[in-house]
């Protein structure tokens, strides 16, 4: 069975897993958001991640999947993820083969995030939008899905103790919501 088939089976909504997210933080409502987990179509696939500009008001300098809020004009979370990936990295929606949607992730900052998993051509020319993306890079899918590469940490945030996942890929730190979405996907793949 290849990696694409493994992902399709893992995303079966009938499979029940324990979801870990930040829904327990005192947020009254969660606004709809979506991210694209763009997997490169190659024998050893990778995942494209973005580095947010350091001057942004929220999540400055953090590593993230391309994505954002679901707008009124978006048909659904998949459409929103594809639109955002196009805005951030110029990934044409028609070039994304959507495999499915992973488990919704509730963030402590008030978002209900739908992680859309899609396959993109291996050497697609990406063009980061400097208003939203400082840089982008590719991490091997096998690295992200290996639980040994993720460390569970704790910190105090807004007066509450917070548990989160943290991964180091070279000089890049993948943590918080992005690492949490990956951790849920790892549990789904087990």
Tens digits of pLDDT across the chain (190 residues): 899 999 999 999 888 888 888 887 756 788 999 999 999 999 999 999 999 876 666 665 689 999 999 999 999 999 999 999 999 999 999 999 999 999 999 998 889 999 999 999 998 999 999 999 999 999 999 999 999 999 988 887 667 777 889 999 999 999 889 999 999 999 999 8
DSSP assignment, residue 188?
Answer: H
Whole-angstrom Cα distance, residue 87 to residue 68? 10
Q: Is CATH 3.60.20.10 correct for 3-189?
A: no
Q: What is the pTM of this model?
A: 0.93
């Amino acid at each position: 069975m290849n990696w694409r088939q493994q992902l399709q089976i893992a995303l079966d909504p009938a499979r029940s897993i324990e979801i870990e997210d930040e829904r327990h933080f005192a947020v009254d409502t969660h606004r709809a958001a979506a991210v694209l987990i763009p997997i490169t179509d190659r024998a050893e696939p990778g995942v494209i991640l973005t580095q947010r500009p350091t001057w942004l008001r929220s999540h400055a300098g953090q590593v993230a999947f391309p994505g954002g809020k679901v707008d009124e004009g978006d048909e659904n979370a998949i459409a929103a993820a594809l639109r955002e990936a196009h805005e951030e990295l110029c990934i044409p929606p028609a070039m994304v083969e959507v495999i499915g949607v992973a488990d919704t992730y509730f963030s402590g900052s008030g978002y209900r995030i739908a992680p859309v998993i899609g396959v993109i051509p291996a050497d697609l020319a990406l063009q980061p939008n400097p208003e939203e993306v400082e840089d982008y890079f590719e991490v091997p899918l096998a690295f992200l899905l290996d639980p040994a590469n993720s460390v569970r940490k704790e910190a105090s945030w807004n007066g509450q103790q917070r548990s989160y996942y943290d991964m180091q890929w070279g000089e890049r730190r993948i943590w918080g919501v992005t690492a949490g979405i990956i951790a849920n996907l790892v549990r789904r793949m087990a």
